[in-house]
Amino acid sequence: MILRVVNPNTTASMTGLIGRAARAAASPGTVVEAVNPATGPVSIESHYDEALAVPGLLAEIARGEADGYVVACFGDPGLDAARELARGPVIGIAEAAMHAASFLGRGFSVVTTLARTTGRAWDLARAYGFGERCRGVHSCEIPVLELETDPAARSVITQKCRRALETDGSDAIVLGCAGMADLCAEISAVIGAPVVDGVAAATVFTESLVRLGLSTGKHGEFARPPAKPYTGLLSPWSVARSSARS
């Protein structure tokens, strides 16, 4: 089985971290291909970033060749469009993390990077049916790229997770950024509660769907996009869109 885990931003070091987290969660014999697009923002921290990340993400989905796909950004950018393109299942990490956390207690809290992204996390929780289970969304005010470079980042995130549990009365924490994928075990040991990384959860869920022979239904909304030309800067995507296979 081949899983393609797509980091929608263009920062290769973060893609490496994401790939390690996915491989640690995958079953023996599953090949995890962690990739990022050549085109797009270096990090995704706004609606503008998210919109401009989607073409590069879709190009990686349209390459085909994989049995299943993970969208490794907590905003789940381009998820619906990716499901139209791919024949194999596609899961976003926010979607996977919230589902996993819902199995662990009555409520969970999300701890993410910047305050400006908390609205998107709330939107996704409600869209995925977890509006009542999500007890709070908290920001650390650490930009995505500084997760790798700020020596205080781990301590700040850990303390924010501890306070979120106490403030919200939650049973579990969801880490709201793919760049936090390596922190789960460490934070869980400190705060004494389950901490869910969406990269690992999405990898396991996607792998399970492939093993069950299940994928996105193609008879309605998620059927292949209608064939049509794209113009200007988007002209390459009209070609990529018609070539997806898995």
DSSP-derived 3-state class of residue 194: coil
Mind listing the pLDDT tens digit for each residue in 109-162?
999 999 999 999 999 999 999 999 999 999 999 999 999 999 999 999 999 999
20 and 8 Cβ atoms separated by less than 8 Å = no
pLDDT grade for 233, boundaries at 50, 70 and 90: confident
Which domains are delineated in the chain? 2-93+201-241 (3.40.50.12500), 95-197 (3.40.50.12500)
User: So what's the pLDDT on residue 94?
Assistant: 98
Mind listing the pLDDT tens digit for each residue in 28-58?
999 999 999 999 999 999 999 999 999 999 9
Neighbours of 244 (CB within 10 A): 21
DSSP character for 221? Answer: T
Task: Give the largest CA-CA distance in the chain.
Answer: 54
165 Cβ contact list (under 8 Å, min separation 6): 109, 173, 191, 193
Mind listing the pLDDT tens digit for each residue in 188-224?
999 999 999 999 999 999 999 999 999 999 999 999 9
147 and 113 Cβ atoms separated by less than 8 Å = yes
d(C-alpha 66, C-alpha 78), whole Å: 18
